């Protein structure tokens, strides 16, 4: 069977840096761009306010929540993300709503040939949750990964209790592959995660963005 590998990669990471959008959802216009140094204040304010909503689903890391999300923590994180982005290991997107930073979509662990695979993770400000923002953002990122970035497979892992995240993946058409037992240390313990995936063959014409638009959940701007 013929392979569909893109041409060998030379120079910089394909598809990065990238900015795109926009899709209108009931909450406003959703677009994506690389995270910026000046996201520090907004990132910190949302993350500290939303500890109770975010912590049950995110990897456990050393230090207290407030300390890890202080404004002063962002420059080092941002530098690390920017470096990893330039090396082609990650795509660290900010989600914007009407131009305002409201969350992140992170494509991580990018492995090129022979796998052409990565995982996708996301979070959004609780004050805009439930209005289709993440679904619209992830759809656009997935389409970018399968086009400009040249990937073949994307994975997402979700705790079985995370109803909102499971719903995002269902709306996008991610396929459940199984259960990873004690997969990730989240909120202080090793937690089972459902594994979902999508390969390029499963995209319809126009990709996930077209699917989200056709379902009436978003419209192109
Ligand atoms: C998961 C998350 C990113 C979803 O973001 P979002 O912008 O609200 O997502 P969307 O609005 O596109 O879709 C959410 C869906 O879940 C549904 N939902 C949310 N909470 C729900 C609940 N408790 N029970 C049932 N459905 C729920 C919403 O109604 C919506 O479905 P609908 O469009 O069919 O009505 C957001 O909740 C979040 O940041 N959570 C904390 C961090 C996190 O869990 N990250 C993912 C780790 S895998």
Tell me, yes or no, whether 15 lies in a domain: no
Tell me, yes or no, whether 201 lies in a domain: yes
Cβ(134) to ligand 1 under 6 A? yes
Q: State how many domains the chain has.
A: 1
Check which CATH number belongs to the domain holding 193 and give it: 3.40.630.30
- Stretch 36-53: mean pLDDT: 98
pLDDT at 11: 47
pLDDT at 22: 87
| Pairing verdict, β 153-158 and 117-124 | parallel
- Stretch 21-42: mean pLDDT: 96
Tell me, yes or no, whether 40 lies in a domain: yes
199-214 confidence digits (pLDDT tens): 999 998 899 999 999 9
Residue nearest to atom 41 of ligand 1 (CA): 54
Contact 47, 35 (CB under 8 A): no
pTM score above 0.75: yes
Report the chain's mean pLDDT, rounded to a whole number.
94
Q: What percent of the chain has pLDDT over 70?
A: 95
Task: Name the residue of 130, 132, 135, 174 to mutate for ligand 1: max ligand atoms within 8 A of Cβ.
Answer: 130
Cβ(135) to ligand 1 under 6 A? yes
**pLDDT class of 105 with cuts at 50, 70, 90:** very high
| Residues spanned by the domain of 54 | 20-220
Tell me, yes or no, whether 68 lies in a domain: yes
**pLDDT class of 139 with cuts at 50, 70, 90:** very high
Tell me, yes or no, whether 3 lies in a domain: no
Cβ(174) to ligand 1 under 6 A? no
Among residues 127, 209, 187, 199, which one has the least CA distance to residue 156? 199
Cβ(182) to ligand 1 under 6 A? no
Residue 110 has pLDDT above 50, yes or no: yes
Residue nearest to atom 39 of ligand 1 (CA): 123
pLDDT at 63: 87
CA of 113 to the centre of ligand 1 (A): 33
Residue nearest to atom 31 of ligand 1 (CA): 167
Residue 89 has pLDDT above 90, yes or no: yes
pLDDT at 7: 53
The answer to whether the bond into 160 is cis (omega within 30° of 0) is: no
Tell me, yes or no, whether 208 lies in a domain: yes
Cβ(129) to ligand 1 under 6 A? yes
Residue 76 has pLDDT above 50, yes or no: yes
Cβ(117) to ligand 1 under 6 A? no
- Stretch 6-35: mean pLDDT: 84
Cβ(96) to ligand 1 under 6 A? no
Tell me, yes or no, whether 2 lies in a domain: no
Tell me, yes or no, whether 14 lies in a domain: no
């Amino acid at each position: 069977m013929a392979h569909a590998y893109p041409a060998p990669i030379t120079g910089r990471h394909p598809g990065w840096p990238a900015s795109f959008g926009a899709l209108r959802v009931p909450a406003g216009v959703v677009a994506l761009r690389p995270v910026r140094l000046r996201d520090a204040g907004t990132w910190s304010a949302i993350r500290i306010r939303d500890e109770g909503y975010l912590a049950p689903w995110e990897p456990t890391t050393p230090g207290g929540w407030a300390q890890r999300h202080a404004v002063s923590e962002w420059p080092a994180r941002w530098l690390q993300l920017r470096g990893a982005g330039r090396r082609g290991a990650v795509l660290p997107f900010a989600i914007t709503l009407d131009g305002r930073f409201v969350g992140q979509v992170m494509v991580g662990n990018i492995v090129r040939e022979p796998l052409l695979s990565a995982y996708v993770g996301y979070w959004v400000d609780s004050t805009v949750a439930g209005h289709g923002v993440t679904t619209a953002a992830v759809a656009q990122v997935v389409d970018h990964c399968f086009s400009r970035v040249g990937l073949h497979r994307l994975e997402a892992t979700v705790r079985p209790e995370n109803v909102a995240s499971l719903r995002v993946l269902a709306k996008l058409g991610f396929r459940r592959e199984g259960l990873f037992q004690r997969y990730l240390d989240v909120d202080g313990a090793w937690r089972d995660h459902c594994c979902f995936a999508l390969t390029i063959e499963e995209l319809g014409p126009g990709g996930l963005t077209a699917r989200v638009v056709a379902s009436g959940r978003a419209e192109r701007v």
